[in-house]
A and B are shown apart, each in its own frame.
Chain A
């Protein structure tokens, strides 16, 4: 919600006071397994980057970019979600946001 409405300051404090009146709608969409989207272990071997967490374990190096079909899917999902919420009586008090892999997510 803070993502959707770009809220901070008093606006955010006031929105959060309405927390008990929020409903959430989550939609899980499938993105196609594009070859150039990869998850690798960042152990520094074979040309992979190296990055470790505080336990010394290598973290995941993720390469992800949404392709055209993914963007269409996300847009369709977002619109369908808003349609459903509107039909259920939600008049968009807290705002709509897209739950997308390339950014933070928020519920409405």
Chain B
């Protein structure tokens, strides 16, 4: 078995502009070039500043997923929230955030009766994605072309999984899909760079002395 690749070492060809042939990666996608949420940090209380800046620190090591599952899931989250429009050094690490939450058991505090635990759901799903890739294409998930990966993923919420039906039948796939996309969104849009991307004026409401929720 090849040594599992760690995020963000996964190599992909950069997406290029068809006219110029140059990569279209930017440090900051979105409509707000030059906007930086950090410009407002003078208005933040210390707790807020620490919370926000902590998210910019080095990602946690992978502790919940096995190396094999981590490699599959890294490729999956890269399709759920693709970041080829970002320069490689400005991509937001999604898998470490998800892995951290599952490792520390930071859960919603409730569970639907037709779902296993979050951890079990992700274990089943990682196995199922890998199995689908092998069954349909004879390759590991992370080695597939983007479109092949997207087609396999799409088959899950549409309730016609390309393969691994026995695994998917062990949970409510709509709820799982919602969980997966929700977790990816939480990881992405909690990050400062994503706030800059959407031009979010999150910082301005938090003045010293006022309780702030982010």
Contacts and interface: CB of A to CB of B under 8 A. Distances in A.
Q: Which of A6, A9, A17, A62 has the most CB of B within 10 A?
A: A9
B99 interface: no
Contact of A16 (B82, B111, B157, B189): B189
A6 B197 CA distance: 22
Interface stretch (A26-34, A52-60, A78-86, A87-95): A52-60
B178 interface: yes
Interface residue tally on B, bucketed by range: 20 to 34
A20 B110 contact: no
A25 interface: no
B199 A62 contact: no
B199 A104 contact: no
Given A16-B198, A19-B200, A20-B198, A62 B110 contact: yes
B46 to A, nearest CB: 26
B67 interface: no
B106 to A, nearest CB: 8
Contacts of A6: 157
A98 to B, nearest CB: 13
Contacts of A19: 198-200
Interface of A: 2-3, 6-10, 12-13, 16-17, 19-20, 51, 53-54, 59-60, 62, 103-104
B185 A12 contact: yes
Contacts of B194: 16
Contacts of B40: none
A17 B82 contact: no
Contacts of B181: 2, 7-8, 12
Contact of A13 (B81, B104, B200): B81
B31 interface: yes
B80 interface: yes
Nearest to A22: B198
A9 B157 CA distance: 13
Given A17-B31, A20-B198, A54 B81 contact: no
A104 B79 contact: no
Contacts of A54: 104-105
B182 A104 contact: yes
Contact of A10 (B82, B185, B197): B82
Contact of B81 (A12, A20, A51): A12
A60 B178 CA distance: 22
A17 B29 contact: yes
Nearest to B180: A8
B150 interface: yes
